[in-house]
Structure 1
């Protein structure tokens, strides 16, 4: 139940969260029937913690968008949830929110690499036994067992996750993030992105990579950092510990990928109507519904939320919104693919990522 005193908006009017699995579409030529199937199991995770003992406790929300499996997002969700329910951590968070959020994300990064340490050491040991200068083909011919073992190790090293965390207490909002999951504040007449997208279209990130000696023009052409969309994340061995083994990254003077979060705040919450947290599957799916794609998706997202408020129970709003986006995406793909399968919309909408949304309304 929301308080009517805007000077003490410590309890939300409602909160809702949901996550749905990715999909890829195909159309049977003769019957013109569309089918959908997932590329992989849902790699997104999320949680929300509301005040337990006193109204002075914070509201904490988080979304994690895993990639190359759910190992990274599962680890981050589990560790950070356990830390945030610790009373001592809550005291630290209230005393120094920005530094505490920074340390918690870096601690999660360290735990990820502790989990895969044995595989990292085994890989290094095997590589240390191979003669210098041998090509990959020669190594496979001469040392097939070692190369096969290296191939078995690679999936154990893979994986990582974005993270976006929003903390509300003492009438203020703080946001910390790595990667491209987003936090949006919706005011009466405008919305504001409070997180930072960490990708190769971020000029600050490109400058950081250039300072490491990397060819940023090549990186921009590739649209990725090695094989990764995000320049900051939790996990992702290949752009951190293993970056010297990636051709386009091997010239860097230090790890191109980092887990240092962007932390922003405090933002007074008196005039905030909604706080939205989402994985990139939500906003990118909405972007691709038009030709050309539009980045101004939040008015449409807010419209879907407000329509859902009139038709479903409050706890089901995020589910309803994601289902509406899913249906719109399917319809747009089908109509576009039947008209021109090579059109921009048909190509962009032939698949979509996992979608996770948290809605908090004051």
Structure 2
């Protein structure tokens, strides 16, 4: 009896943490130390792979893949939704986005079914972003008296929606979506960046900020060789970061390092996403969605080459590994030694990294407007239990994304 109990405990809390009781299947993903992964799953128009590695004390990256109905009406459109949310200042905003953005998208589509528009569109996605932004503002308003620092928490927000043969890419922040496109003449697979990034290290983004704030010569400041909005943050668009959007939150008791000398007369940052629309073609092979933790170590073409030249199973995990190997090389250390560094300290070597690879089956894409496959819902994240602590064996998505 005792031995059976010990075996049960080891299955959930043993040192390998290889899936927390999911050793026979990775339906909810698996956990190995600071790495969470789902090696292969199926969505409406192909297969997908996901992986997340933690560097911060609390995982600030969140992600999801939802495939099936895109609205709450059964007669509504079906497709696949991919979200990568790279938090900063804490995990609260990225978790909130993970819990609410897709539902807002479904709600907006439902509302549009009562009007003339009855399908996915740029306007639907934009409304879902802004509803999520407003929702988080409400959270900040409620928590401000007890937890004022939540005003300085935010998240980048990268979304892909495949609906029929149309791909929508929406982005606020500096995560990135890259397409792997085959070239028939040469057999090569080329990288095509699909998202626009909002980081003031990019000259065009700095120019945009200056044009939006012509009266503020300090809207972008070079600080310690890094360009930052008001000397504080690198991204110009995000969900959250209310301290740079609403004057009532840029005051005491917010930490002085976040408080501006002059009052905010209009929002400095924006939550409005840049959205592009791409009609999928047979030579569009796969999509890579990732937080900037991946892209600071791999070029677009490097990442596409990894996906193209290796098996699909575990490909997101492989991309994370290649990025970590590059991070170790930059610090002149071995990859095996980097893996031994614990969260928190690990942040000095690399950021949280989230990768979602979505493969596109051209036969399924061509039938996608009428296809209604099974509903799939996967959240990227992980379980991180303190040493010698027992906790219920709960799927990673429920631990990292409480409702």
Question: What is the TM-score normalised by the length of structure 2?
Answer: 0.62
What residue in structure 2 maps to residue 15 of structure 1? 48
Residue 219 of structure 1, CA deviation: 2.1
What residue in structure 2 maps to residue 277 of structure 1? 289
C-alpha change, 1:114 and 1:174, in structure 2 (3 Å) is same
What residue in structure 2 maps to residue 186 of structure 1? 180
State whether structure 2 residue 58 is matched by structure 1 residue 41: yes
Q: Which 5+ residue runs of structure 1 have no aligned equivalent?
A: 1-9, 23-38, 123-151, 287-296, 337-348
State whether structure 2 residue 280 is matched by structure 1 residue 268: yes
* RMSD over aligned Cα atoms: 3.0
State whether structure 2 residue 266 is matched by structure 1 residue 254: yes
Identify the range of structure 1 (55-64 vs 154-163) with the bigger mean alpha-carbon deviation: 55-64
Residue 165 of structure 1, CA deviation: 0.6
Q: In the aligned structure 2, how far is the partner of 1:241 from the partner of 1:60?
A: 30
What residue in structure 2 maps to residue 225 of structure 1? 229
Deviations 1:78-99 (A, max 9, x none): 0023345667279699624100
C-alpha change, 1:329 and 1:105, in structure 2 (3 Å) is same
- Equivalent residue for 1:109, pick from 108, 129, 133: 133
What residue in structure 1 maps to residue 241 of structure 2? 236
C-alpha change, 1:350 and 1:70, in structure 2 (3 Å) is closer
CA contact (8 A) 1:225 1:239 kept: no
* Higher Cα Rg, which structure: 1
Residue 75 of structure 1, CA deviation: 0.1
Alignment of 1:177-216 (within 5 A): 177-189=171-183, 190-200=190-200, 201-204=202-205, 206-212=207-213, 213-215=215-217
Identify the range of structure 1 (351-360 vs 81-90) with the bigger mean alpha-carbon deviation: 81-90
Q: Residue 352 of structure 1 aligns to a residue in which SS?
A: coil
Higher strand share: 2
Q: In the aligned structure 2, how far is the partner of 1:184 from the partner of 1:256?
A: 28
Q: Residue 223 of structure 1 aligns to a residue in which SS?
A: strand
Deviations 1:231-258 (A, max 9, x none): 1000002211148656767376421111
Deviations 1:106-132 (A, max 9, x none): 000001110011354x4xxxxxxxxxx
What residue in structure 1 maps to residue 68 of structure 2? 51
- Equivalent residue for 1:159, pick from 150, 153, 169: 153
Q: In the aligned structure 1, how far is the partner of 2:138 from the partner of 2:285?
A: 41
Alignment of 1:72-111 (within 5 A): 72-84=93-105, 88=110, 95-111=119-135
CA contact (8 A) 1:173 1:269 kept: no
Poorly superposed stretches of 4+, deviation over 4 Å: 52-56, 84-87, 89-94, 243-249
Q: Residue 41 of structure 1 aligns to a residue in which SS?
A: coil
Q: Which 5+ residue runs of structure 2 have no aligned equivalent?
A: 1-42, 184-189, 252-257, 335-346, 361-403
Residue 265 of structure 1, CA deviation: 1.0
Q: In the aligned structure 1, how far is the partner of 2:282 from the partner of 2:260?
A: 47
CA contact (8 A) 2:199 2:234 kept: yes
Q: In the aligned structure 1, how far is the partner of 2:62 from the partner of 2:203?
A: 25
Deviations 1:187-222 (A, max 9, x none): 114322211111212425533444322215852455
Residue 103 of structure 1, CA deviation: 0.4
What residue in structure 1 maps to residue 32 of structure 2? none
